[in-house]
Amino acid sequence: MTSPVMLILGYSKLLVSDPSLRADGSIRTMLEAIHESGLKLQALTEEASAVEENVMAISAAGPEVTYADKRRAS
C-alpha cells in the first residue's frame, strides 16, 4: 500500500518540476509548501516508526522492575 505521504511528495514534486505546467508564482509557492510539508510528515513518520521499534524491543526484552515492585519486595 502506498502511504499518503509518498503520494503527496511524488505528486507535488511532479507538479513543481513539470516545465509544461506554467503555474503562476502563488500556485508554485503553494505547491512547494505542500511538498515541504510532505517532507516534514515523512520525517515525523520515520521518527515515530523508530520510537515504536525501540519500544517493541524494550518490551520484548522482558518486564522492567518498577519502583513500586522494589517497594513491595522490601
The grid coordinates of residue 53 equal: 521499534
User: Rounded CA gap, 18 and 49, in Å?
Assistant: 32
pLDDT above 70: residue 42: yes
Residue 19: pLDDT band (50, 70, 90) is confident
User: Rounded CA gap, 3 and 20, in Å?
Assistant: 27
17-21, 37-41, 45-49, 64-68: range with lowest mean pLDDT: 64-68
The average pLDDT across 21-46 equals 85
Whole-number pLDDT of residue 70: 58
Whole-number pLDDT of residue 47: 87
The average pLDDT across 19-31 equals 80
